[in-house]
Amino acid sequence: MIPTKDPQFNLRFAKPDDAAMVLGFMRKLGSYQKMADKIVATEAGLHSLLAAQKGEAIFGSYAGQTVAFAYFCQTSSAFIGQSGMYIDGFFVDESMRFKGLGKIMMAYLSKLAIARGCKRLEWACLDWNQPSIDFYKGLGAYGVDGMKIYRFAPEVLQANAALF
């Protein structure tokens, strides 16, 4: 357990055997974001990512109940020549919001990023999610305007790979 400034709130790193709990929080996040059908991860897939250290997660427990989580991974950018961390999932149970727990988690992730030599911490936020945007801006974050995220879905990835 990692103690925090709130004596009732502790953090801990997920282990591969916590994959079901990670998936549960991702499903909560997907529901909140009105994208529940987009969460296609499996417990086995998350177990593999955690075991291979391709992704990490922390859980936040308040008074012994797990109420928050963040899933993240290390990144790097040749554009700016720096490493960073990317938060792919961040969620605090609705009943536990506005208690400072999200701020504590972001502070810990910031400290972890610095300890690992990272120069930035990044994440994406849906443009309609004003409560989260306000939370992030309140911490001093800024949006990267003029950039849109693109990705290849698995079948398109296969089709493009076949061109080589």
Residues of the chain with pLDDT > 90, as a percent, come to 90
- Given 32, 71, 108, 136, which residue is catalytic? 136
Which H or E element spans position 48? helix 43-51
CB 84 within 8 A of CB 120: yes
Domain containing residue 128: CATH number: 3.40.630.30
Q: How many Cα atoms sit within 13 Å of 34 on the Cβ side?
A: 5
Q: How many domains does the chain have?
A: 1
SS3 for 107?
A: helix
Indicate if 142 belongs to the active site: no
For 95-120, the pLDDT digits (tens) are 999 999 999 999 999 999 999 999 99
Residue 23 belongs to what domain range?
2-161
For 35-64, the pLDDT digits (tens) are 999 999 999 999 999 999 999 999 999 999
Specify the pTM. 0.92
Distance (Å, whole) CA 45 – CA 23: 10
By C-alpha distance, which of 125, 57, 66 is closest to 92? Answer: 66
CB 59 within 8 A of CB 69: yes
By C-alpha distance, which of 47, 49, 65, 60 is closest to 90? Answer: 60
**Which residue type sits at 115?**
A
* Least-confidence region, from 48-52, 139-143, 146-150: 146-150
Distance (Å, whole) CA 65 – CA 18: 15
